[in-house]
Amino acid sequence: MPQKQLKILGIIGDPVSQSLSPLMHNAAMAHTGLPFIYMPFQVKPEELDVFFKSLAPRKIFGFNVTIPHKQAVIPYLDSLSREARLIGAVNTVMRKGKKLIGYNTDGAGFIRSLKKEEKYELANKHVLLLGAGGAARAIAVALGLEGAREVMIFNRTAKKAFDLSFELGKKFRKTVFNASPLDPPDPSHWRLADLVINATSIGMKEFQNIQLPLSQLPSKALVVDIVYRPLETPLLKKAKKRGLSIHPGWGMLLHQGMLSFELWTGKKAPYEVMKKALLEALR
């Protein structure tokens, strides 16, 4: 019997060795028996051109894109999905014939995680979004696509929050986008919030310095941290102590990967298998 030739999938980034995607995708491939192997590709910014001119178009079936290439890959692609165009960044590339198509599954992964693990719907919700970097941008676009009522963006560099809210305000009619500096956070918005999302890279130390008015939140509010290491971040610990519902960052990571898997293979991603591989690695 001739052996099936394995198709190559992967992730490009710099650094890339810390990525949990190979683990999650190879577990899924082993489980489904699909003929793919997923590999990390360390690509420095100055090597991106060579990567696209040599390897990507001919040898690789599809790949994820991580920091620092999510925007830099765009000029090398033949077309973009609606989400990738709105977000202005790509985390998944798929080869279709000779063409490379860019997608962004980060925002949709975030939404799918809230729906699947929390049974949470975003339509008409008041959302406080902390951060205005790449991940926050993907989430803000996804919130607009889901029809959230208001998204208040808080950021250390306030101008970035104002620029993002102004840009998205023009793109989404149903959702109102507003902005505010992160420190000090204006408590008046917190009393109305349904959902708080930390999409900054703030860790333990910084959250001790910024006094988030968690006590102002309604008791029904859900607090999400997209930072997935540690599994229960300082923000989630504090929110839990106040009796609020919490949702950890592994969910977004899992579902953005599942959506990439589904784009490449055309098959449903094995949720339990990918979740187990991810959580084992994170624990």
The contact set with ligand NAP (CB under 6 A) reads: 106, 131-136, 155-157, 160, 182, 199-202, 206, 226-228, 249, 252-253, 256
Q: Least distance to ligand NAP from the beta carbon of 98, Å? A: 30
7 or 225, CB closer to ligand NAP?
225
Q: How far is the CB of 257 from ligand NAP (least distance, A)?
A: 8
Q: Which is nearer to ligand NAP, 80 or 226 (CB)?
A: 226
Q: Using CB positions, name the residue nearest to ligand NAP.
A: 133
- Of 78 and 280, CB closest to ligand NAP: 280
CB-wise, 8 or 245, nearer to ligand NAP?
245
- Torsional sign, CA 69, 66, 19, 8: negative
Using only C-alpha atoms, the chain has a radius of gyration, in whole angstroms, of: 19
- Residue 195: beta bridge partners? 127, 222
Q: Which residues, in sequence order, are CB contacts of 162 under 8 Å at separation 6+?
A: 179
Minimum distance, C-beta of residue 224 to ligand NAP, in the bound complex (Å): 10
Task: Identify residue 252 by its one-letter amino acid code.
Answer: M
Residue 88 or residue 147: which is nearer to ligand NAP going by CB?
88
As measured in angstroms, the least distance from the Cβ of 73 to ligand NAP is 15
CB of residue 87 to ligand NAP, shortest distance in Å: 11
Q: Are strands 176-181 and 150-155 parallel, antiparallel or unpaired?
A: parallel
DSSP class per residue in 16-79? -TT-SHHHHHHHHHHHHT-SEEEEEEE--GGGHHHIIIIIHHHHEEEEEE-TT-TTTTGGG-SE
| Active site (catalytic) residues | 70
Helices (H), the chain: 21-32, 48-50, 56-59, 82-87, 106-118, 134-146, 158-171, 204-209, 234-241, 250-265, 271-282
